[in-house]
């Protein structure tokens, strides 16, 4: 149908029909499509029923309006797209599992379209009379039909609000047991906030379109819950001052000074125990309140309960033990061992970089082996690499926290008599609570950490709070051990932690500062106009990048040698670029692309995601806690058709071992976890990233043989002592800092002063 001339399109809807010839563009996230019909008429719009490529060659009917696009010219923007003939046949054969073309023809010869839909909805057992249809196959057909039917209804309803097909599928999966879901969404669209990717703003837009009152109880309650959760997750706090919360609510709800309304809502939430008051003017979400209160109670309960002394002649024991250990314990280390020897069931062993936490841990565990069996002792950490490292340095069995949970999900308590948690600064309140609730009162629990590092991702500051309020006996290690005078990583890191500029230009075996600076930076900045200075900054950024690539190139051969010898674990931790930010020339995204070009010359087909191209042998990182389809390495080698469901955690490092373009799968080996994970290509944007370069936060708890940190004024907003200390202490053998000298020295003096608010702090500060 041609566009009528001299007629305004406003408030009109037109019909257009034709055979779909070619898809020019599709956004995988939103399903917005630009395509062309056989008469070369361009069309555009959102189509979520299936992959639009599947209906190329089919005759379609469109309803919509005419638009003009700057690049594509006149287009028909469709609001609905339907197959002209035998739509039911298309969906039966291409979408519903278990019905092929032959059986679909049989069904449509036997029944009219309406009759068939009624049978599939209400009387599916009638299909058993057809040859080849047994109970098992019928179950598959009905299940697939019901899912498709409800998903399509939900999609039709939500698409009018701009909800993408991926999000529609997530919503359907989340609520698939809920009856009358569309009606429930119409009544209270804020139930969608529970879906990751919706958020309050999107739910609020849908609510507004549905005519929900701005002062609706649903709206205010949802905003309080959402704002509390976002504030705690993003800032690391587990409680909030009410006046601050009310200001945030004003911003989200577009209200002004509605404290009285908020007070009423919060009072109701307090009565229903959705939130808890932690001090006269502070509140916390119930989950975080219970987690931190029970952590406090765990330590308080253990405080007065001592075991029997392990060794009566302790000094004699230590003298002998030091000979077998091969080193002499410092007074601080002896104090830690003595606390456990005297019967304490809980101990915090706190030490900065290079103070001997690992060797002290080994001494503690060897003492405890006097009273428990070797297999009754386990060391744990959040990341697989940290878990392996503490096992290597102590000689005891290790596990990630997550694996320990999975192995013991049916047990009330972990079976171990001694548990040592390493890298405790990484563990947030909820994770720490989930851990201690499975530790029995008889189990000895040793918590090892470095409070100079960045705090955990997520809410809470358990390590800092435990030290501040002495929740259990604490032994603090302060003496730095150096194997030789030319090894300086620990010394430099600790100078920075204290806000001092280290001797960074001296010659060391394990540390090198590569100066790439604008001479007289501040004088130059003041003498140039804005455009000139921007160009100078761009030049210095490229100069730093070139130096990074030059240093990185020296590790390429060793990286490939490890891969060829199938020592993937060593390849993954050989060399790491660590940077504070994601964007810019020296941000994670650009560095990953540049380093991928340097490290991966694999030929063959690549998969292009929204941000990166993925190739065989790429180093990658999983970026979101998720249950995934997986196999052990042995199962994969044996081409097993069986699969396991494995929890893959944010921060796990892996290597791409196959890109399967037939099944649209990216297959990743996680060597530290003996796990091969199967990703659908369309999952890569949300679940995986290249890992040649990582943010400092992503490297918490990790250790690399060699690390490189860019240092630029373009990252100045992120520069502080805690970030820099954490980054430098990721390096085991060699640390490079490449960049601007004045940016580095100013970062060394910029002491991180951000204070996390917590439930523990609120409750115990009353007693100080």
Q: How many residues does the chain have?
A: 768
Structure tokens at 405: 């949970």
- Collect all residues with Cβ–Cβ distance below 8 Å to 338 and sequence separation of at least 6: 314
Q: What angle in degrees, to the nearest 10, is found between the helix axes of 217-235 and 199-209?
A: 160
Alpha helices in 126-216 (DSSP H): 135-159, 165-174, 181-187, 199-209
Give the integer Cα–Cα distance in Å for 388 and 671.
11
Q: What pLDDT shows up at residue 358?
A: 92
Q: Higher confidence at residue 95 or residue 386?
A: 386
Give the containing element (helix H, strand E) for 249: helix 242-253
CA distance 570 to 437: 35
Checking if the pLDDT of 660 tops 60, the result is yes
Proportion of the chain above pLDDT 90, given as a percent: 53
Q: What is the pLDDT of residue 67?
A: 86
Is the pLDDT assigned to residue 682 strictly greater than 60?
yes
Cα–Cα dist 416/258, whole Å: 53
Task: Count other Cβ atoms within 10 Å, centred on residue 434.
Answer: 13
- Please name the residue that has the structure tokens 């503690």: 364
- pLDDT of 142-193, one tens digit each? 776 766 677 667 777 887 776 765 577 678 777 866 778 888 889 999 999 9
**DSSP structural state of residue 183:** H
Per-residue model confidence (pLDDT) at position 3: 40
Query: For 92-96, 470-474, 639-643, which range has the lowest pLDDT when averaged over its residues?
Result: 92-96
Contact between 54 and 94 (Cβ < 8 Å): yes
List, for residues 272-314, the tens digit of each pLDDT value.
999 999 999 999 999 999 999 999 999 999 987 889 999 999 9
- Quick: pLDDT tens for 403-439: 899 889 889 999 999 999 999 999 999 999 999 999 9
Strands of the 474-477 sheet, one edge to the other: 398-400, 377-381, 418-421, 444-449, 346-351, 474-477
**Which stretch of DSSP H or E encloses residue 341?**
helix 331-341
The more confident residue out of 171 and 232 is 232
- State the Cα–Cα distance between residues 62 and 79, nearest whole angstrom: 7
Cβ 507 vs Cβ 486: under 8 Å: yes
Query: Using an 8 Å Cβ cutoff, are 573 and 385 in contact?
Result: yes
Q: Which of 128-142, 335-349, 537-551, 598-612 has the lowest mean pLDDT?
A: 128-142
pLDDT band at 88 (very low <50, low <70, confident <90, very high): low
Q: Where are the alpha helices (DSSP H) in 369-408?
A: 384-394, 401-407
- Whole-prediction pTM: 0.77
Cα 106 to Cα 113: distance, rounded to the nearest angstrom: 12
pLDDT attached to residue 213: 92
Q: Which residue has the tokens 């000689």?
A: 395
Q: Report pLDDT for 369.
A: 95
Burial 7-24 (b: 16+ CB within 10 A, else e): eeeeeeebebebebeebe
- Residue 30's SS3 state is coil
Six-digit token pair at 354?
A: 């290079």
418 phi/psi in degrees, rounded to 5: -135, 125
In this model, does residue 479 exceed pLDDT 50?
yes
pLDDT (average), residues 634-643 = 90
In a 3-state reduction of DSSP, which class is residue 449? Answer: strand
Answer whether 248's CB lies under 8 Å from 226's CB. Answer: no
Flag whether pLDDT at 768 surpasses 50. Answer: no
Q: CB 267: neighbour CB atoms within 10 A? A: 11
Q: Pick from 624, 599, 620, 602: which is nearest to 611 by CA? A: 620
Cα separation, 440 vs 437, whole angstroms: 8
Tokens 């604008």 locate to 518
**Predicted pLDDT at 556:** 95
Q: What phi-psi label fits residue 274: left (phi over 0), alpha (psi between -120 and 50 degrees) or beta?
A: alpha
How many angstroms separate the CA atoms of 305 and 561, rounded? 53
Backbone angles phi, psi at 44, to 5 degrees: -150, 155
Q: What is the pLDDT of residue 303?
A: 83
**Confidence at 12, pLDDT banded by 50, 70, 90:** low
Helices (H), 498-529: 521-527
**Torsion angle of C-alpha atoms 188, 189, 193, 196, degrees rounded to 10:** 140
Q: Alpha-carbon distance 374 to 286, whole Å?
A: 39
- Please answer whether residues 696 and 727 qualify as being in contact, where contact means their C-beta atoms are separated by less than 8 angstroms: yes
Average pLDDT, whole number, for the chain? 87
pLDDT band at 738 (very low <50, low <70, confident <90, very high): very high
> Residue 728 phi/psi, 5° resolution?
-65, -40
**Rounded Cα distance, 679 and 626, in Å:** 11
- Mark 195-225 as b/e (b = at least 16 C-beta within 10 Å): beebebebbbebbeeeebeeeeebbbbbbbb
Q: What is the pLDDT of residue 397?
A: 95
Exposed, middle or buried by CB within 10 Å (0-12, 13-18, 19+), for 120? buried
Cβ pair 69, 44 in contact under 8 A: yes
Report pLDDT for 196: 72
pLDDT at 327 exceeding the cut of 90: no
HSE of 379 in the Cβ direction (CA atoms, 13 Å)?
27
pLDDT for res 8 = 39
């Amino acid at each position: 149908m041609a566009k009528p001339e001299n007629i305004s399109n406003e408030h009109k809807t037109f019909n257009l029909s034709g055979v779909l010839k070619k898809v020019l563009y599709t956004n995988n996230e939103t399903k917005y499509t630009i395509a062309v019909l056989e008469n070369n008429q361009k069309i555009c719009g959102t189509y979520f029923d299936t992959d639009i490529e599947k209906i190329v060659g089919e005759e379609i009917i469109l309803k919509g309006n005419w638009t003009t696009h700057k690049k594509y010219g006149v287009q028909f923007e469709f609001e609905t797209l339907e197959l002209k003939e035998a739509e039911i046949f298309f969906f039966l054969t291409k979408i519903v599992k278990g019905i092929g073309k032959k059986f679909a023809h049989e069904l449509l010869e036997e029944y009219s379209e309406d009759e068939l839909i009624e049978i599939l909805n209400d009387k599916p057992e009638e299909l058993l009379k057809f040859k080849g249809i047994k109970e098992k196959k019928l179950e598959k057909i009905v299940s697939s039909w019901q899912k498709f039917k409800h998903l399509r209804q939900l999609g039709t309803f939500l698409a009018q609000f701009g909800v993408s097909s991926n999000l529609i599928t997530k919503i359907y999966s989340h609520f698939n047991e809920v009856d009358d879901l569309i009606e429930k969404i119409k009544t209270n669209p804020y139930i969608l906030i529970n879906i990751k990717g919706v958020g309050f703003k999107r739910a609020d837009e849908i609510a507004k379109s549905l005519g929900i009152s701005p002062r609706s109880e649903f709206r205010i309650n949802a905003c309080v819950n959402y704002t509390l959760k976002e504030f705690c997750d993003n800032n690391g706090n587990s409680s909030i001052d009410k006046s601050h919360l009310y200001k945030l609510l004003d911003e989200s709800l577009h209200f002004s000074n509605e404290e009285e309304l908020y007070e009423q809502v919060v009072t109701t939430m307090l009565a229903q125990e959705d939130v808890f008051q932690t001090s006269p003017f502070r509140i916390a979400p119930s989950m975080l309140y219970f987690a931190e209160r029970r952590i406090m109670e765990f330590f308080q309960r253990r405080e007065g309960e001592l075991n029997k002394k392990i060794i009566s002649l302790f000094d004699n024991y230590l003298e002998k033990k030091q000979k077998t250990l091969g080193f002499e314990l410092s007074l601080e280390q002896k104090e830690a061992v003595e606390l456990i020897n005297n019967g304490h069931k809980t101990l915090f062993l706190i030490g900065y970089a290079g103070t001997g936490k690992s060797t002290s841990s080994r001494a503690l565990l060897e003492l405890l082996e006097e009273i428990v069996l070797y297999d009754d002792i386990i060391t744990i950490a959040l990341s697989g690499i940290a878990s392996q490292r503490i096992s290597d340095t102590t000689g005891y069995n290790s596990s990630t926290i997550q694996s320990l949970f999975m192995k013991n999900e049916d047990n009330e308590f972990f079976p171990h008599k001694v548990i040592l948690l390493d890298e405790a600064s990484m563990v947030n309140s909820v994770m720490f609570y989930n851990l201690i609730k499975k530790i029995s009162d008889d189990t000895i629990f040793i918590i090892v950490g470095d409070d100079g590092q960045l705090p955990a991702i997520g809410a809470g500051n358990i390590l800092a709070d435990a030290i501040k309020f002495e929740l259990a006996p604490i032994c603090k290690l302060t003496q730095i051990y150096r194997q030789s005078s030319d090894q300086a990583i620990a010394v430099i890191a600790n100078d920075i932690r204290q806000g001092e500029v280290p001797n960074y230009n001296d010659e060391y075996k394990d540390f090198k500062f590569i100066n790439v600076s604008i001479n007289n930076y501040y004088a130059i900045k003041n003498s140039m106009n804005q455009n000139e200075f921007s160009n100078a900054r761009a030049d210095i950024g490229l100069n730093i990048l070139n130096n990074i690539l030059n240093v990185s190139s020296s590790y390429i051969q060793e990286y490939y040698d490890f891969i060829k010898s199938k020592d993937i674990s060593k390849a993954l931790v050989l060399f790491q670029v660590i940077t504070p930010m994601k964007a810019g020339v020296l941000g994670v995204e650009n560095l990953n692309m540049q380093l991928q070009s340097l490290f991966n010359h694999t030929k063959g087909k690549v998969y292009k995601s929204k941000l990166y191209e993925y190739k065989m042998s790429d180093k990658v990182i999983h970026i979101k806690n998720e249950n995934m389809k997986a196999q052990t390495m042995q199962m994969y080698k044996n081409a097993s058709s069986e699969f396991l469901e494995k929890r893959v955690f944010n921060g796990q490092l892996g290597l791409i071992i196959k890109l399967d373009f037939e099944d649209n799968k990216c297959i990743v080996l996680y060597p530290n976890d003996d796990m091969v994970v199967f990703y659908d290509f369309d999952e890569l944007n949300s679940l995986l990233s290249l890992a040649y370069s990582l943010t400092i936060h992503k490297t918490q708890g990790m250790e690399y043989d060699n690390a490189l940190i860019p240092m630029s004024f373009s990252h100045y907003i992120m520069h502080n002592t805690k970030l820099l200390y954490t980054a430098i202490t990721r390096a085991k053998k060699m640390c490079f800092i490449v960049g601007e000298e004045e940016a580095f020295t100013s970062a060394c003096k910029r002491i991180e002063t951000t204070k996390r608010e917590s439930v523990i702090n609120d409750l115990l500060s009353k007693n100080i």
